[in-house]
Amino acid sequence: MEANMTNNKPWAFAALCMGFFMVILDVTIVNVALPSIAKTLNTTLSGLQWVVDGYTLTFAGLLLLVGALSDRFGAKIIFQIGLLAFVVTSTGCALSPSITCLILFRLLQGASGAFLLPSSLALISNLYQDNKQRAQAIGIWAALGGIACSSGPFLGGVLTSLLSWHAIFFVNVLIGLNSFFLVSRYLKDIVKNNITKMKFDFLGQIVGFITIILLAYGLIEASIYGWRSHLIIACFTLSAVTLILFLLIESWVSHPALPLNLFRNRVTSMALLVSMILNLVFYGELFMMPFYFENLRHYSVFMTGLAILPLPGLALIGSYLGGKFTASIGAAKTIFIGLLIAAIGFLVLLMLRETTPHYMWLIPPFFAIGFGVSLATPAMTFAAIHSVDPQRAGIAAAVLNTSSQVGSLIGVAVFGTITAISSSFMSAMHVTLLLAGIIFIVTACLSLFLME
């Protein structure tokens, strides 16, 4: 039996990585297709922001709940439910006849993705009991996430140019069904679900979700209504009030959705902050890139996807070295090095103009950004998961990924709004690149001094 379990591990691990890859891929695969979606469905920049952030909104809002469900009912069944739901909602996105319908299915697709991410990481943590093997597995898992994130625009460009933007969602059907088959066959004898009887913090979940919705709506619609609009001011005010209420609820209830004692650990707190900042900057800038290449440099959809391809070029190497560096020099130094390299890449991109420089000059900073982010990601993930009790792996993974997705949501909303209110796209591009570099440098220094 032990030999059979060992032989099944690679298949089970592959299935979990496939589900995770699919979820992260759908965060960015729509980016290059956004101009095509705008033409087909006749929508505005705000509508396109909702196509991207609608997915992230429900994804981030439900991760904590799914973490609790995973710890209570077992991560495997939660992962399987998420796979089937993701296949169904992806089909709905592909067949959407209007922007309203697409946004609705993107919201549902994000909810389905929330079932997959924390459960996959919890299952991997249980699959590999040895700390060294677990660190290596998390490094591979994080590497695939980085590749999925960065290769999404290229794959989206290829599918959109060869077929149509509808095809970018049909890819999930193939990946999701294959992952479901492998999980059903190979994971059942390896991981026995640790079912615990916990109470759900439904009130905290609802208040936390409302907080994220109000924040997202205010950030995205500010470009339409204006920052001084009573509606936007009300959204930000109510978001702050509900955030305070959420924290009070989490400090009162016996089984909080977000255990505040996680933040007593300085390493955990800093890892969560790094995950939010990293995604805020990276996804925010990734939202901008397709518009730069397609609208200013007049690249085709396919060429735009090809132009962004260098971003994942060194992701696999970076993630592999990130795991190695974490084991040898520690998470803090690894995160510092990774974010500093990525910051240099962003600052070098300040040389961008409407038609210059030659594209070849953009490849080195693209490589630097992708390598730096992928170097820091496994260190950040390992620090957050390894700094808590193994029995709380599910909720720790949920909190980590909630902070990441909230960062992504804020990044797309803020960078998109900067674009909408700027006098020109190029000036907005320069502002966001400068912000990206500065934020990464500051976060790198904080991680070095506070996580050590």
Let me know how long the chain is.
452
Q: How confident is the model at residue 194 (pLDDT cuts 50, 70, 90)?
A: very low
Q: How confident is the model at residue 390 (pLDDT cuts 50, 70, 90)?
A: low
Is pLDDT of 25 > 80?
Answer: yes
pLDDT at 1: 39
Q: How confident is the model at residue 263 (pLDDT cuts 50, 70, 90)?
A: confident
pLDDT tens digits, 308-351: 878 766 777 777 788 778 777 877 888 888 899 999 999 999 98
Q: How far is C-alpha 227 from the chain's CA centre?
A: 27
CA distance 109 to 130: 34
CA distance 26 to 315: 18
**Tokens at residue 206, please?**
């609802």
Nearest one of 242, 179, 252 to 207, comparing CA atoms: 242
Nearest one of 187, 195, 199, 194 to 83, comparing CA atoms: 187
pLDDT at 123: 78
CA distance 135 to 386: 9
**Tokens at residue 69, please?**
């469900």
**Overall pTM > 0.85:** no
Measured in degrees and rounded to the nearest 5, phi and psi for residue 432 equal: -70, -35
> Long-range contacts made by residues 389-392, C-beta under 8 angstroms, separation at least 24?
390/125, 391/194, 392/71, 392/259
Q: For residues 45 and 420, is the Cβ–Cβ distance under 8 A?
A: yes
* Residue found by looking up tokens 């924390």 in the block: 118
pLDDT at 217: 83
CA distance 336 to 376: 8
pLDDT tens digits, 65-103: 776 676 667 778 888 888 999 999 999 998 888 888 999
Measured in degrees and rounded to the nearest 5, phi and psi for residue 422 equal: -80, 160
